[in-house]
Structure formats: structure tokens, C-alpha cells
Amino acid sequence: MAKFAKKRFYKTPKGPKPLSKQKPKDASTLAPGLERLERAIAHMGLASRREAKALIASGQVKVNGKVVKETGFGINPEKDLVTVNNKSAENKEAILVYKPRGIETSKTSPENKDIHDRLPALSHLAPIGRLDKDSEGLIILSNDGSLARALTKENSTVEKEYTVFVREQVEPNALQKMENGIMLDKIKTKPTKTKRLSKNSFTIILTEGRKHQIRRMCDACHLTIESLIRIRIGSLKIGSMKPGFVKRISSKEIEVLKKS
């Protein structure tokens, strides 16, 4: 496998800009165009969100040359200059990974294993989105903040396709219910596309990524998931990849994802 670049840090273009005056605790109160500092650091591939909070609290993070110790601080990733220990990231990378079943996307506790434990050579890159421990398939690791925002923004139209194997028989009315949308936490899911593959399997295409969304949708349709595999992200397909395989994403493929 090709060698990967050493850990570097991120520098947004066109030099320092004035610090945002807005310092909200709740991400929902951030002004349009702003992002929580710890989230931006994670998108830049500098650290996990949990690690970023510790770096901020210890005074190791600067925004436009000034130390910021407040998590939840709002920045504009396209304008503000973020440095960790006076270094900034360069050389954007994006890697497609087949996450195996049984490991987390990002570690939730010290005893658990995640993608970086399985693939330490990619420890300088942050996962974009997530797959739960019992799911497998494609996920992107990158230090490209603009790519991360393109894939995770609320109005993203990038499709994620999954193959789902269930214990019960798949009935047309269950798939129709998923396509029309299902109420989760008092909010209806966006319309989906489904296709029955066999009496116990189907594919589903989403353009959103709510927590445990497919599992909860299946539960609402009285279907018990036995296997859940993400087989496509936009134009990136799983093909012949196996659990643990990685593949570098070309600059052309990255631009297509950003424009989706």
C-alpha cells in the first residue's frame, strides 16, 4: 500500500481575518457560515472532536493568531486561520475506506477500537460522517474541510446507498413507507429510494445521515437488521473492496463530490 503523508495541519486561504465576535455554547445559535471550532478542527483532520476540545482547553489552538480556549467558539472555516501548536495543515488528502464490522468510526471509550486503531497510517485524517459499530462499508477519511462540509451539510444531495439484510420478509408496503418518509424524533425522514433484492434483502438510498437512521426506519417497519453495508457514497462504489481495504480518492472525484 502506498505511503501516506505525515500529519500536517490546515491553513485556510488568504491569510488571517478578524475573529468572529460570536461565541455561542449551542451550535444551533451560530450565525450562518460559522462552525464550532472543535468541529472545524475535526474536519481538518487535526484531531477527533473529543481531542480537539482538550487541545482548545489547554490553549494549544489559535484562531487568527489569538489563543481561543472556548469550545463552541464560532469560526468561518473559509476565512479564519486555525493553527494547533503554531502549525497549519497542508496537502489535502481523501481516502476511501471499507470499515469492517465490529469497530467504531471514532472511539467512544478507551477500550473500544476504531478505524484509526485498524489503520494507524491514516491517523492524521478524520472520518467524514459515521457508520455504527455493527455496520460496515464505505467511509471517507480526509483533512479537507470543504469536502467534509459538502458531505455533511444539512442540504447535501450526495447519495449514500446501503444494502440491508433483514430477518423478516421484505414486503412492498414496508419499502413504500421508507420511501415516503418515517417520523423519527418528531421529524420526518427525507424521501428515499429502495429496491427489493430478495425476500430478506433490499437497497436503500439516503441523502441525509441521522443517527442510526436505517436501523430506526427498519424498526418502524418491524424489520430486524442482520447486516447493513454502505456500498456507495455519491459516485464512489464499493466494487471489489473488502473489509479493511483503502483507496485514494482522486482530485477529480473530490471535486464531483463537492459539487453534488
Catalytically active residues, by annotation: 132
Phi and psi of 79, rounded to 5°? -125, -40
CA distance 232 to 207: 12
Pairing verdict, β 225-233 and 136-142: parallel
How distant, in Å, are the alpha carbons of 93, 170, 187, 192, 202 from that of 180? 37, 16, 13, 7, 16
| Rg of the chain (C-alpha set) | 19
SS3 23: coil
CA distance 195 to 162: 10
What is the longest distance spanned by two Cα atoms in the chain?
60
* Three cell numbers, residue 33: 457560515
